[in-house]
Amino acid sequence: MSQPSIRGAITALITPFRDGEVDEEAFIRLLERQIAAGIHGVVPVGTTGESATLTHDEHRRVVELCVKTCAGRIRVVAGAGSNSTREAIELVRHAKTVGADAALVVTPYYNRPSQEGLYQHYAAINEAVQMPVLVYNVPGRTSVDISNATLARLSRLPNIVGIKDATGNMGRIAGQRLECGGDWILLSGDDMSAHGYMAYGGHGCITVTSNVAPEAVAKFYDACMTGDWKTALYWQDRLARLSEALFLDASPAPTKFALAHLGLCEEAARLPIAPCAEAVKPAILAAMKDAGVV
């Protein structure tokens, strides 16, 4: 069986701002840092990229800029989710048009669709656009949880190729491996449980931590993918406090604080995400030191 083309450490990129607008120079700088560190892929305008508060023009521009900057050096999985199926189709279609390798489509939030509604949402995207699509399951944010049974149905559609699973539930992986087939791409969406996810048969992670510590995260996944679990555990332990610290306040505020501390971008987020709370900044800095970033 061949290895999936989308695998390893895939960074859920932040979207930097300056004076209320997308800071394109900082975005390119952050992206080049990721590539130089050995990261295997990136997700522009996922939820960590504050997609919910970007305009459609900003969203499209960030995806275009990402594809152009990467220039085929690493995989680009464009964030393209919406709680409107029609809008999600438009975003996936745009991602294909500008040359992204795949699209990441979050389960519709707020609507709380049934399992049949979830199936029909992704089936409509599959029908409309000939492009690899990853399902993003994050019930803690969307209030809906897509079941393994629904994923098994979706896996039979040609363009629905895998999942970003942010539930932290290791028990789901075996079921998906059995029900969705050997070509189904299994990506974690939870840095803290990534070592276990990989050991259970995962192919990689769409990671927030790699925004701040890309080289260490890349080494962790390189070790996992070669079965060097002792080395992987070393890196997982070294990164654990940072992975936890980046969620001590509403994401991505802590990540933006960390990157601003490194001089890579401004700390600014877009409301309703407030700047990182002063009370948690010492813990973030201590965790960055643990990870070898500062």
Residues with a known catalytic role? 136, 164
Contact present, 254 and 280 (Cβ < 8 Å): yes
* C-alpha dist (Å) from residue 34 to 29, 59, 128, 142, 216: 9, 20, 32, 28, 11
| Separation of alpha carbons 63 and 7, rounded Å | 20
What token pair was written down for 201? 């048969």
Q: Kindly report the three-state secondary structure assignment for every residue of 234-254.
A: HHHHHHHHHHHHCCCCCCCHH
Bridging pattern class, strands 21-22 and 17-18: antiparallel
Report CA 267 to chain centroid distance, whole Å: 20
* C-alpha dist (Å) from residue 117 to 112, 121, 134, 136: 9, 6, 17, 15
* C-alpha dist (Å) from residue 48 to 13, 87, 117, 247: 6, 19, 25, 11
* C-alpha dist (Å) from residue 2 to 7, 24, 37, 41, 44: 12, 37, 25, 18, 26
Q: How many CB atoms lie within 10 A of CB 68?
A: 12
Query: Which helix (DSSP H) or strand (DSSP E) does residue 162 occupy?
Result: strand 160-165
